[in-house]
Structure 1
């Protein structure tokens, strides 16, 4: 009886695949998605709208929202294979690609996915330092006047954020991050609401809507093309979360089936983020017109009330603490799992030590995890210090990962999963969708790389 009871307890604490039981719900899933999506990208959308103009700007935001939803719909059915409800679980994006598309494409996917996650970590270090510096500058402008020379460096803030992430990176895995994602989601709502409210207030105060159909004019047609391309890259960075979608889906409990919950969460989260994106982009452009800053809350289009600007930037910092972990935890999990399989008897890799600090719960520490995660955080911080260019970095990252990770792999896996034959109606529609997105990605990538090179040389 005792043995039977212990077996029942073990079964109750394990899921159908023998892993720790999943407890994620629709609401925690939405929180994870919002934490991943509403990040540093939202702050550049007013600038992107200003480059594209009053017609192309909002239309582009809506088109990317639709593309993101289609991508998430296709990818959520790939969590289990071969059947989307009863098949074996694919714990990561790479697992799904390996099962459906083979080993070679898995390597390509892994390279792009983890490069994108690493790059997002770099972007979050840059954004956080910009927001922390903006707090100091806002206080300076309030005391000395708006024309005062209030210039501060980024390096110390990047190092401080890196130190915080060294500590946060010791969170074991995605399943232990629900509280941090919920906090980050609340912060993202807060600063997005402040940004759109300040933009709306300025439009009402000025009594007119600034901007034009063609967007910000430039000296030459070539320069306008580069700016439009970079704006598309910034929007592409702001939306997709496909590279961590399956990792989020792996936290969900069932029933109902994981793909049903994921589709509902994606629909809700994308609707919410699109509303905020349109408001931030459009109200920001309407408020500043041709003088729209690259970063809505730290570019100092707004100076007062300075305390509200400070609060918004604090919210950004707190959100990006969680956002950095959302994109870093899958990298940690992959490398640590690979190392454990490669060195199964290595004590440095496998041994855990229990540490008990006063007034805190016991904590299990692994020296390999400590060293690897600390080195990872240090490297993202170092790269951010070399390339501290907010809009240009976002554009390059968005263009690099948009088509392959958000479009190509989900479409190809969906063909295999649902056994869709070549030249059928659904095949033609999805392939056309993929080709159009590829062309947009190529345009965005060229313009964003040009912008990054120009910023580095200037």
Structure 2
């Protein structure tokens, strides 16, 4: 360890250095994460399969992770916050996310941005800079959010494909959602199971740096359905110029208590829409060196700028189109019924996007569990045995491992069952997890690591500024979590498990 390493509470010990080194007697067999190596592959200085990503692939990962169901709920959030409040919140969350993300990227190397030691994951960075207790706190929130997001994406994918059937039904039967004898109600169960089956196959890809092709495709799909939602909103705003919303949102139509809970939920929705710090260092670890710091910051700036453009455009124009009656999801929630074929394209694009987004969120969780087991059972044949290995263009050497096949498949099955079990109320659970994750993972931990890394003096102007930002974001997370809990309680009234219909 360098002599100029910054002082920190619960600092990294020599034992920690040994723990994170690859056992040399297995160096010819496995890489630094415990995955089987091949003579056909090249490796970086830390024993990891050579990273080949650039800022474009990192940008694709970020857009895939960030733009999801959140982009289509921004008009609904605007309906609770009103014009000035909604606009202010969207841009404020964008700035905070970008600023703190750049602080977090600097923590990829330890103890400085140009040091040789890499922190392959968020939890490794927290352990290095802040110590084991902080790392445990980080890991619980981070991996719980990843798992829960996988459940949310599985459910949302089922909703999207069900919406295709509904759009066709509305068109050919001539009915609408408001008709009393509406025959267009379908079960989401088959489509949720279909999503789970596809993810069992896709989850056999080894790690996140090998799913970049899926991220590129998912990014294109995000652009497609976002532009469709934007275009349909512009068309409706032109046809119905009176539905332009109000300055104070739904205040006039709600009691003060209902309005307060609604504002809190809207804040949680926007916070979740910008959540990607949980996997930021894992994405950074896919970039080739040297220069990964600059490339990752460039990708983050472009990624946040892209998402903010879509969030602001769809949020503002969607609110202008629907006013205070904006649906929770502009496309799958049937804010639009026609042209049905365009609605179909948008929902299919949402489904394809979620296929890739699921992997971007779940691969770090898979990697964490596999790396932890490898350290616990180094050199065990049951972890390293491969049924076969083949080279796939764009993915490198792909292996079918019995261990990976069983445990990842079981994980996807559990996620699918939870998506079926929890039904439509799970969106509120996701918003709750996003709310409790925003302050600690997006703001608090990056700020604390930055203070340690840069040796910022206590009570200095910058120290005060960082802590004021931290406190404000904690307050936002707390009130957003409260609003989400109220939403969960409301949505579970009369709820029947496995009754996932739309």
Q: TM bucket by the smaller chain?
A: over 0.9
Corresponding residue for residue 76 of structure 1: 105
Distance of 2:301 and 2:164 partners within structure 1: 35
The answer on whether the counterparts of 1:52 and 1:214 sit within 8 Å (CA) in structure 2 is yes
Structure 1 residues 205-354: aligned runs within 5 Å? 205-217=239-251, 218-255=253-290, 257-354=291-388
Does residue 155 of the first structure (1) align with residue 189 of the second (2)?
yes
Report the CA distance shift for 1:362/1:269 in structure 2 as closer, same or farther (over 3 A).
closer
SS at match of 2:399: strand
Unaligned runs of 5+ in 1: 1-8
Post-superposition offset of 1:300 = 1.3
Pick one of 466, 471, 481 that aligns with 1:445: 481
The answer on whether the counterparts of 1:127 and 1:390 sit within 8 Å (CA) in structure 2 is no
SS at match of 1:54: helix
Distance of 2:142 and 2:219 partners within structure 1: 23
Corresponding residue for residue 375 of structure 1: 410
Corresponding residue for residue 425 of structure 1: 461
Corresponding residue for residue 409 of structure 1: 445
The answer on whether the counterparts of 2:327 and 2:334 sit within 8 Å (CA) in structure 1 is yes
Does residue 89 of the first structure (1) align with residue 123 of the second (2)?
no
The answer on whether the counterparts of 1:203 and 1:283 sit within 8 Å (CA) in structure 2 is yes
> Moved runs in structure 1, 4+ residues, more than 4 A?
9-12, 359-363
Pick one of 169, 193, 197 that aligns with 1:140: 169
Q: TM-score, normalised by structure 2?
A: 0.86
Structure 1 residues 363-402: aligned runs within 5 Å? 363-388=398-423, 389=425, 391-402=427-438
Q: TM-score, normalised by structure 1?
A: 0.94
Post-superposition offset of 1:356 = 6.9
Corresponding residue for residue 40 of structure 1: 69
Post-superposition offset of 1:11 = 12
SS at match of 1:364: strand
Structure 1 residues 41-120: aligned runs within 5 Å? 41-120=70-149
Unaligned runs of 5+ in 2: 1-37, 495-502
Report the CA distance shift for 1:372/1:11 in structure 2 as closer, same or farther (over 3 A).
closer
Distance of 2:134 and 2:397 partners within structure 1: 42
Report the CA distance shift for 1:102/1:297 in structure 2 as closer, same or farther (over 3 A).
same
Post-superposition offset of 1:290 = 2.2
Does residue 125 of the first structure (1) align with residue 154 of the second (2)?
yes
Distance of 2:432 and 2:273 partners within structure 1: 12
Corresponding residue for residue 455 of structure 1: 491
Pick one of 22, 30, 48 that aligns with 1:19: 48
Post-superposition offset of 1:429 = 0.5
Report the CA distance shift for 1:363/1:220 in structure 2 as closer, same or farther (over 3 A).
same
Distance of 1:362 and 1:447 partners within structure 2: 46
Number of residues paired by the alignment?
A: 448
More helix by share: 1
The answer on whether the counterparts of 1:133 and 1:157 sit within 8 Å (CA) in structure 2 is yes
Post-superposition offset of 1:40 = 1.5
